[in-house]
Amino acid sequence: MSQTQARAVSRAKPGRSRADGARSRGRILDAAEQLLSERGYAGTGIAAISQASGLPASSIYWHFKSKQDLTGAVVERATERWVEALEASEPGPKAPTDAIVAWISRSIEEMGRRLPFFMRLSLLLGLELGPREPALMERLRRGRVLIHRVVRGSLERVLAAEGIPVDAGLADEIARLAMAFSQGAFISGVLEPESIDPGRIPEYIETGMRAIMEARMAEVTS
Amino acid sequence: MSQTQARAVSRAKPGRSRADGARSRGRILDAAEQLLSERGYAGTGIAAISQASGLPASSIYWHFKSKQDLTGAVVERATERWVEALEASEPGPKAPTDAIVAWISRSIEEMGRRLPFFMRLSLLLGLELGPREPALMERLRRGRVLIHRVVRGSLERVLAAEGIPVDAGLADEIARLAMAFSQGAFISGVLEPESIDPGRIPEYIETGMRAIMEARMAEVTS
DNA sequence: ACGGACCTGGAACGATCACTACAGAATCGC
DNA sequence: GCGATTCTGTAGTGATCGTTCCAGGTCCGT
């Protein structure tokens, strides 16, 4: 369905051409992304997406074959954007350890703030759907794995480059903990806006990361 | 509505008396709690609660005046249970600092495991409903505040008893961070079961807590 | 100019949504 | 026994759910 890509190639300058399915598809995704991340899967109706995007339900079903399919596309696009933004801000492999640690703590917090859709989508849909929608869950999981890999990769490369003796699992562990904490802090902010000072989140992550790393190093040498 | 409490008082030994509304009410709450914490508010229908509880919809609407009202009662009961369990396991004010810190880290993790309903309810409903259901959100928030207060109280009392110079905000801050992290770890476990070793969560919380506390102490003395 | 691919508009489908009306069964105080 | 209270069972209400059908408009390549 929707070979609009091919058409866009053969017709480089659309000049507001026809009904413009590619643009419509994007608008549907935008509306669905916002509604899904706010109200969840069951709470978001096709009618609401239709109204928010300004397109009739039949258009939604022309571009996507079901609500599930649309949701999957939303998750995929949000994941891609998140990973792109993460990689774009990633420091080089020769950055000092301090810079990497600071980058991780800062960027995780920043992504949660600048791109809240994926954060909310991943948490809300993950909790709501569970094993009853395995296809969607798998998509969500893949997104999280991707992000984890970027974070872990930075840690690993830099620690190795500095000759710090880090076993294979440590970077993995630290990356997971950083993600878990920033998730928790994000939700705390949603539920109790006055709870945790968002500006301090990088500091918390950094302090925690260092403490765990030191504890692990101490274990190894003892 | 539902003066069953009063009846239970006047009739101490019910002996399987009549239709037994109190028991029915409990069954409805049980079913609703489970379904709401699994599928969220929009995803849980009255019909599903009726089926899971074995009672017709009219009984649900005799005990509760709306789905909102029922959800509120579910949240309230789950909160009470959590707080009770927390307080029951709380160490005395004269316990050494180590014991308190260990208790906090262990009990938060344990509550998440033994009473997952409130954790899921609070996160799922909080994310899903947002400002569109202010009454329910307020109930959720109150539950979280209660729990935070218990944790913070333990910290404060012990640190003070040991003469550790802790400014008023530090215990508060540490308690929030411990809750945020355990939330994040809980969700990580839901979304990627293999992600974080649940057995290590207390250790993570403890290490992180100590690191933050030390950092704050260093700030004060410098 | 014409057939066909692309996309929209509107009207419908049965199923399910939260909720209600009401009759009747069970048990109470008296 | 009797009227009243408490709770259940049946059968609905209109609204909204996801989804489908299809006529028709717009633009393409030929």
Tell me the two tokens of residue A79: 């994941």
Chain A span 16-55 residues with beta carbon within 7 Å of strand D: 17-19, 44-48
Summarised one tens digit per residue, pLDDT across range B92-134 is 666 677 777 777 777 777 777 777 788 899 999 999 998 999 9
Q: Which has the higher per-residue pLDDT, A171 or B41?
A: B41
CB atoms within 10 A of CB B134: 11
- A44 and A113, same domain (yes or no): no
Q: Hey, of A121, A122, A177, which one would you mutate to test binding to chain B, going by the most B CBs within 10 A of its CB?
A: A177
A115 by Cβ neighbours in 10 Å (0-12 / 13-18 / 19+) ranks as middle
Least confident window among A6-20, A21-35, A137-151, B144-158: A6-20
Given A10, A45, A65, the domain boundary residue is A65
What sign does the CA torsion over B8, B12, B18, B23 have?
Answer: positive
- B19 and B121, same domain (yes or no): no
CATH label of the domain that carries residue B102: 1.10.357
- A17 and A89, same domain (yes or no): no
Kindly report the average pLDDT of chain A as a whole number: 82
Which residue, among B33, B37, B32, has the nearest Cα to B123 in the 3D structure? B37
Least confident window among A36-45, A161-170, B72-81, B201-210: A161-170
* DSSP one-letter string for A181-203: HHHHHHHHHHH-TTSS-GGGHHH
The H-assigned helical ranges of chain B are 4-10, 21-39, 46-53, 57-63, 67-88, 97-114, 116-129, 134-161, 168-191, 201-221
pLDDT at A202 exceeding the cut of 90: no
**Domain contains B173:** yes
Quote the minimal CA–CA distance from B185 to chain A in Å: 5
- B155 and B94, same domain (yes or no): yes
* Mean pLDDT of the B179-207 span: 88
Q: For chain B, how many residues are written? A: 222
pLDDT at res. B18:
53
Least confident window among A72-86, A148-162, B77-91, B154-168: B154-168
Given A20, A41, A65, the domain boundary residue is A65
Contact across the interface for B212 and A207, Cβ inside 8 Å = yes
CA quadruple B197, B187, A198, B140: dihedral, nearest 10: -130
pLDDT band at B222 (very low <50, low <70, confident <90, very high): low
pLDDT at res. A114:
73
Total beta-carbon pairs less than 8 A apart between chain A and chain B:
139
- B24 and B115, same domain (yes or no): no
Chain A interface includes B38 (CB < 8 A) = yes
pLDDT at A33 exceeding the cut of 70: yes
pLDDT at res. A11:
35
Reading phi first (left if > 0) and then psi (alpha if -120 to 50, else beta), residue A90 is in: beta
pLDDT at res. B70:
97
Per the structure, the complete domain to which residue A10 belongs is given by 1-65
Which residue, among B144, B16, B20, B172, has the nearest Cα to B86 in the 3D structure? B144
**Domain contains B23:** yes
**Domain contains B1:** no
CATH label of the domain that carries residue A36: 1.10.10.60
- A162 and A102, same domain (yes or no): yes
CA-CA distance, A127 to B110, in Å (whole number)? 19
Chain B interface includes A36 (CB < 8 A) = no
CA-CA distance, B114 to B116, in Å (whole number)? 6
Summarised one tens digit per residue, pLDDT across range B10-61 is 333 333 345 577 889 999 999 999 999 999 999 999 999 999 999 999 999 9
CA-CA distance, B136 to B131, in Å (whole number)? 9
pLDDT band at A67 (very low <50, low <70, confident <90, very high): very high
Q: In 3-state terms, what secondary structure has residue A68?
A: helix
| Cα angle, residue B198 at apex, residues B197 and B202 outer, rounded to 5° | 110
**Domain contains B4:** no
Q: For chain A, how many residues are written? A: 222
- B197 and B93, same domain (yes or no): yes
- B127 and B206, same domain (yes or no): yes
pLDDT at res. A47:
97
**Domain contains B141:** yes
Radius of gyration of chain B (CA): 21
Summarised one tens digit per residue, pLDDT across range B131-141 is 999 999 999 99
**Domain contains B93:** yes
pLDDT at res. A87:
82
Chain B span 61-120 residues with beta carbon within 7 Å of strand D: 62-63
Strand D proximal to B59 Cβ, under 7 A: yes
- A165 and A97, same domain (yes or no): yes
Chain B interface includes A151 (CB < 8 A) = no
Write out chain A residues lying below 8 Å of B127, CB-based: 40, 120, 123-124, 127, 187, 190
CB atoms within 10 A of CB B72: 18
pLDDT at res. B1:
40
Least confident window among A16-30, A197-211, B13-27: B13-27
pLDDT at A107 exceeding the cut of 80: no
- B48 and B148, same domain (yes or no): no
3-state DSSP helix/strand/coil % of chain A, to nearest 5: 80, 0, 20
- B83 and B126, same domain (yes or no): yes
Distance, CA of A18 to C1' of D25, in Å: 10
- B93 and B57, same domain (yes or no): no
Nearest to B188 among A42, A176, A185 (CB): A176
Quote the minimal CA–CA distance from B38 to chain A in Å: 6
Residue of A nearest to B145 (CA): A192
Q: What is the number of domains present in chain A?
A: 2
**Domain contains B94:** yes
